[in-house]
Amino acid sequence: MIEIVKDATTIANIQQSTVGNTGAFKDEILSQWLCEKCVSEDKHQQAVERFVFSCGGYCVATYVLGIGDRHNDNIMITETGNLFHIDFGHILGNYKSFMGISKERVPFVLTPDFLYLMGTTGKKSSPNFLQFQNVCLKAYLALRHHTNLLIILFSMMLMTGMPQLTSKEDIEYIREALTVGRSENEAEQHFLDQIEICRDKGWTVQFNWFLHLVLGIKQGVEKRSA
């Protein structure tokens, strides 16, 4: 299934086109880019709200499905604020590793630049961030109510030949992610805890993104030289 999304670009392109590779560490770049694309106050507010909702959906979906390879070339945003993921080659917690160390150090991607766009830095909680949390919890609980359906659908795909979905053990990832067997209050707290882990370790994602930009340039030079 292929969809063309107009007026969209990767987070990597936004970071790199502004100040180069170090853009991965600049919290304000994404927010400034969206301001440039939405000049009027009304359009900008609508774009920020759209970002909050789409980011919430993105975080929940990638967490529950165990989407890996979440670098800044695989995350895109439209000029109206819609955030979305591309490339679903790594699922159900089958993450890439580098020299034996997993590249995914957080439950999902919620970087300082995403939080900055929501008006949040450090441990502060802006109205947009509180809205983001609310969206996440609603989406997460909604998926929990359909756990059996998700399990059935993935069970039906066991024989399709997908390399990362070959046994019932692979599907157990979804059960664990959806905290099957725990109460709704416990589930809510579980996801809020995941958000806090992302806030605390957002710098690790930025560092990974910086390496991705650097290695991307190196690979491009090598290809041109060849």
Distance, CA of 194 to CA of 203 (rounded, Å): 15
Q: Where are the alpha helices (DSSP H) in the chain?
A: 11-19, 29-37, 41-65, 112-117, 127-144, 147-156, 168-177, 184-200, 202-225
Q: Which position has the higher pLDDT, 81 or 156?
A: 81
Mean pLDDT of 86-107: 70
Predicted confidence (pLDDT) per residue in 114-137, tens digit: 999 999 987 888 999 999 999 999
Instruction: Please check whether residue 111 is in contact with residue 30, taking contact to mean a CB–CB distance below 8 angstroms.
Output: no
223 within some domain: no
224 within some domain: no
170 within some domain: yes
- The tally of CA atoms less than 13 A away on the side-chain side of residue 222 is 6
Neighbours of 175 (CB within 10 A): 13
- What lies within 8 Å, CB to CB, of 13 at 6+ separation is none
Predicted confidence (pLDDT) per residue in 42-53, tens digit: 999 999 999 999
User: CATH code at 101?
Assistant: 1.10.1070.11
Look up residue 17 and give its two tokens. 């086109």
Q: Which of 9-23, 75-89, 184-198, 203-217 has the highest mean pLDDT?
A: 184-198
Q: Which domain holds residue 91?
A: 8-213
DSSP state at residue 108: S
222 within some domain: no
Distance, CA of 157 to CA of 152 (rounded, Å): 9
48 within some domain: yes
Q: Over 50: is that where the pLDDT of 55 sits?
A: yes
Distance, CA of 66 to CA of 24 (rounded, Å): 23
33 within some domain: yes
219 within some domain: no
How many domains, the chain? 1
What is the percent of the chain where pLDDT is above 70? 91
Q: Over 70: is that where the pLDDT of 213 sits?
A: yes
Compute the mean pLDDT over every residue in the chain, rounded to the nearest whole number: 88
158 within some domain: yes
Provide the pLDDT for residue 58: 95
Provide the pLDDT for residue 217: 54
Q: Over 60: is that where the pLDDT of 226 sits?
A: no
Using alpha carbons only, how large is the chain's radius of gyration in Å?
Answer: 18
Instruction: Please check whether residue 25 is in contact with residue 50, taking contact to mean a CB–CB distance below 8 angstroms.
Output: no
Provide the pLDDT for residue 134: 97
